[in-house]
Every structure is written in C-alpha cells, then in structure tokens.
Amino acid sequence: MSTHQRTFTSILTTTKTTVKSTFTVFRNEDVIEANEITKKYYTIANDTTKYSDSIQAVFDQAIEDCKTQDVRMVQHALMTFVTHHPEARKRRIKIPSLSHRNPKLSIPAKAVYMAPGPVVGDKPIAPTEDVSGEQFLDYWREDPNLNEHHEHWHIVYTDQPLPDPLFPDDKSKEYIKDRQGELFIYMHRQMNARYIAERLGIGLGVTKPLENYHELIPESYTPSKHLVDNNDQTTFSARASGLKLADVAFPGRGGGPGYQITISELEKARDLIRKTVEQGHFDDEKKTPITVELLGRAIESGLNQPGFEKYGTPFHNFGHMLLAFINFQNTKELDSGVMGDVRVACRDPAFWRWHRHVDNLFKAYQEKLGPNHFNDCPPVKISSDGIILCFKDKIPCIKGLKDPQQDEEASKWGEQTFGGHHFHKEHGQHSTDVLETKMKQRQFTWVEDDQSSQTIEYLFPREWYYFFRVENTSNKNITLTFRVFIVPAELCNNFTEWIEVDKFKQEIPANCRTVVARDCDRSSVVRQPPQKTLDELDDTAITAGTGDQESEEEQYCDCGWPFHLLLPRGSRNGMKFKLFVFISDWEKDKVPRVTRCGSLSFCGAEKPKDKYPDIRPMGYPFDRPFKDGSFEKVFIKHIYRLG
C-alpha cells in the first residue's frame, strides 16, 4: 500500500471527534459546502510549484480541516477529490470499503430472519412470532455491499455542480456528470425493481409508494444497536410504527442560521412536478420542453439555475430528511434515523416506499410518451431455441480456468455444443431453464475493536454462462448491442419492473450463424471486477496501487451493483421469471465493450466529463409503456424466444 493510500485511509478510518456530524448528502447546502472544500483540495493538488508532493499536501490540509470543520463533510469532500481529480485517480488512491473504514456502519441486524419457503436446496427456517414481514428482507436491505453501492454512487454522481478539477476557480467550467438526472431515476428504479422481486419471492407483494404524506406509516424500522459511526459515535434513532411525516426545524451548523422543511413545501414541489408532466413543459417563462435529464434533476435535488426558481425545492432530498427526523415531533431531539445518511439509508423499508413514489412521478412522464416503435432493428435473428443457459460447473472444459482463457474455452465449447449442425437442435443435458440462488454465511469481524466476529447471511447465485444462437442475415459484418433483462412473470406488463442483468457489444460476421458466449459475472450492472470471495466482499476488490503507472480510470471500479445480488432470491419451489434479450444496432447505440472495471450501466463514463456510454434512453427498450399495457403486443413481432 502506498504512503498516499495509507494517509487517505487513516483520515477516513481513525479520525475521531466529540462533535456530532450534521452533514448529509440529502441537503443541497451541505453538498455545496463540501464541494467548496473539494475545490480547495483541487487548487492545492494543482499547485505543483509550491508543493513537491501536492497530493500529500491535500491530505495534510484535510487532517487540519477535520479539527475545525464537520468531519463527515471533510471526508465526503476528500472522497469526491480522489474520485474526480486526475492525479489522485492516476495514483490509484482508492476509497476503502465501507466495512473497512466504518465497520460499525456495515453490520446488519444481528438476528437474521428468513421467510418461509427459501430458495431451492435450502431448508425452511421458521420465523419467530414477533417478526413482521419487512424483517424477512433484512438480509437484503442491510447487505453491507448494497449500502456501499448506494453511497459510492452518490459520490460519483453528486447532485450539485462540481468545480473542474484542473480549473477549480473557473465557475463557467463547473459541471454535473452527463445524464446525472436520468441516471438518478434509472439506478434507483433498478434498485427498487430488484427489491420488489425479493418481496414477491417471500410473498410480501409489490412495494406500496409513500404518496400520502399524512398517512400513519405502518412499517417500523429499528437499527442494530451496533450501528454506530466510528468517527463521532453517532447512533441512529428507531422509527416506530404509526408515525407520520411532520414539519422539522433544524438548527444551523456552528451557530449559523437554522432552516425548516415542511410538509407544505413537499406537497407544493410534488404538485409542480405533476403539473409540469401534465402540461408537457416546465413552468418557466420560456416554457422549456421536458427532457428526462431536467426532470430527473428537478425531482432529485431541484433546479438551481436562472429561470427555474420555482423548481428550487429538492423534492427527493426533502423526503429523505423528513423521514430521517420523523421522531422530532415526539422527542424534540434531532437524532437522525438512517434515512438521513446515504451510507445506511437503504436499510429502512421507508427508503423503498419513498423511492417508489419518486419513481412514479417520473413514470407518469414516460407514460405520456407512448410506446417505442423499434423501426431500426438490425438484420439479425435468434432461433426459436436461441437463448441457452448453462451453469459453469456443468461446463467441463472451463474448470479451474481464469479469464481470459475461461471465456475463450467457453466460447469454443458453446460453438461446438450449440452451433454448426447443432444450431437448431435441442439444448441437451448441459442447459437449464432454472437459475439458482442460495443463502451463504460469512464472518463479519469488528476490526477496530477486539477482532470479535459474528455470522451474517448473504445471497449468492449459482454462476452461469449465456449462449445466444444468432444469425446475421445481411451480407456485411454487423456490430450489435445485446440487452438482457429479467422480470417476475406476473409483472411483465409493467415496463418499470424489468431488471437489467447485462448489456454488451458483439460483432457478428456477414451471412453467419454463430453462438455468442457471455459470462454472467461480466454483467453491465455489476461492480467490476466482481466481488465473489469473502475477502473481496469485505474489502475493495482491487488492492490500492503504488505509483503513477496505473490507469487513472480505475477509481470507478468501486462503483456498481454487488455481484452476489445479481439475481433475485426466488422461492423454495421456484419463482417464474421471463428472460428477454433485445438486440439493437451498436452503430446507433455506441455501447462500448465492458472493461473489467466499474458498472457501465449504473456508473456511466469513467472520466468525469465523458458522455454516458449509451445513446439510447436508460433502460431501453423498457423506457416507455407497452402498447395496450401488454408486453407481448409490443414485442411479439421482434421475439423469437421468450424465456
């Protein structure tokens, strides 16, 4: 580990303070203030004439800042710095995993309750009588890697303009990452679709949106007593059943002016968004047409730009804050619930209800667009038996191999087994129509205490390969984008419930039938390289670098969905899903081949100002409603096989 990495890690892990942090990414003013600190760090890092080691100078300044400013704010600013500044990225200074830098914020609830009817191969575990249905999903909501994904995404995609790393004082060069607003909606929609699939697997039903701000919220949430911030010993308040949202007045930081968030403001912001969607344009003087980007940003954190003053209320963020401080009406103490901290917000069932409501506001806009027409499909076919799934442990030639040799051998095996004169034949004994998951156990160690540990459970898939039989009917080579989705069969007619599991580029020779092999762990949504081993699950997947020779983009490897949650859990007797492969023209998509770094779909471009690596709308072809509300009516003429 380099000296820089050790210093950076120490700032995040060992800084102690007796002053309770009030920083949250769900308050715009806090993020703006943190970005000013990041701006200062950029300036120091760029001054190579004054500092012989400007990166170390940044860390020295951060250590001093922690003594006088909100520690969480300084740490957030510093993590933003190492994520976006080219010199820090070039040196591969990496953000340690949440379980390493703040282990007490990573531990799930100690008592793990499993619902009746677990996955194939597992024995039922009877729930205790005092457990509500929501607690059956603790293993998923409180998964340390899921929560780390959510936190890291909000570091990469901060919702306020960032200064340019190389020109921090030039306000005209401030930027928000390409398609930030659209990706905010899509990434959280995908999280919710996965959560709903988990709910269906244990019989809880679809998540109910939290759209009535005056209702008594029946779901409760009590965090583990061990859930404590390592730096300032912050704990999180429980949220009892039967509470409802109420106005909250917050004191200012450091004796500064306070602020208030009210239900009335939240309702006005919601109603303005609904009005905007209904009329088809923003309520500004120019009547600016709606774009997915502007609407997504307006919903997340408001629009802080000339002409859009009406849209200044950060609707999504206000919801987080009101839910986080729902106890204020009873105790008059500002002890935040987990909804106020991006590192742990996903643990609360209210997170998923709130985001279901947030997504429905955006969905209303998409429904007004009408169905896609798909008049630019490439000249390719998938045979009636063209989608083949094979478990890796059933492919004998790849046993013990690693990439790239594993992929090479799997491709050869797939062509020999399913291609050539076998192209239209039955799949045979090697294939499966049932994908499997199981619950595993691992030990979580309290590294900063006495090295004691406890057992936690987590979901893991049985790994597989896709083999796609594809025919190019044209007389020229063609480059394609394969888009792979799954959905619980009962929800297939709702376009927002389709779960992206992969997206990749592949060239097919002219007038050729071929078999395309694809490893499940190369998924476009998964953090790359995937975390599979116990060591990888408990720490960053790539060891921090030691010098300047490494790729500066590799900081983005830490962004992406956890591999072990790639598939929904399913049910003991099997849960019916549809698997859908949509093939589009790469020349119209420009989707790059996924490197073994980061998540293409959730984390976008690797460099801060690059374009998002897909021209199509996010979630395409499931970015618009189906004709007559029917999946098959829209796709039937494009489908050669429905899984």
pLDDT, tens digit, 9 for 90 and up, residues 230-250: 888 888 999 999 999 999 988
Same domain, 310 and 453: no
* Torsion 141-147-149-153 (CA) sign: positive
For the chain, what is the mean pLDDT? 87
> Residue 153: inside a domain, yes or no?
no
Domain boundary among 347, 369, 391: 369
Q: Between vectors from CA 68 to CA 62 and to CA 72, what angle results, nearest 5°?
A: 60
**191 with 207: CB under 8 angstroms?**
no
Same domain, 364 and 463: no
**pLDDT, mean of residues 152-160:** 91
**364 with 405: CB under 8 angstroms?**
no
CATH number of the domain residue 300 falls in = 1.10.1280.10
> Residue 517: inside a domain, yes or no?
yes
Amino acid type, 118: P
**pLDDT, mean of residues 442-462:** 71
Amino acid type, 489: A
DSSP letter assigned to residue 284: S
> Residue 210: inside a domain, yes or no?
no
Same domain, 470 and 615: yes
Same domain, 337 and 472: no
Q: What pLDDT, in 10s, does the model give residues 568-597? A: 999 888 999 999 999 999 999 986 655 556
CATH number of the domain residue 487 falls in = 2.60.40.1520
For the chain, how many structural domains are there in total?
A: 3
> Residue 52: inside a domain, yes or no?
yes
> Residue 493: inside a domain, yes or no?
yes
Same domain, 355 and 447: no
Domain boundary among 124, 152, 173: 173
Token pair, residue 461, equals 């898939």
What pLDDT is stored for residue 332 in this prediction? Answer: 57
Q: What pLDDT, in 10s, does the model give residues 253-287? A: 766 778 899 999 999 999 999 999 999 999 999 99
Residue 118 in this model has a pLDDT that exceeds 50: no
pTM, two decimals, is: 0.91
Structural domain span for residue 38: 3-97+168-173
The pairing of strands 437-445 and 453-461 is antiparallel
> Residue 330: inside a domain, yes or no?
yes
Same domain, 305 and 443: no
> Residue 351: inside a domain, yes or no?
yes
> Residue 150: inside a domain, yes or no?
no
Domain boundary among 346, 369, 392: 369
Same domain, 452 and 566: yes
Amino acid type, 328: F
Same domain, 466 and 610: yes
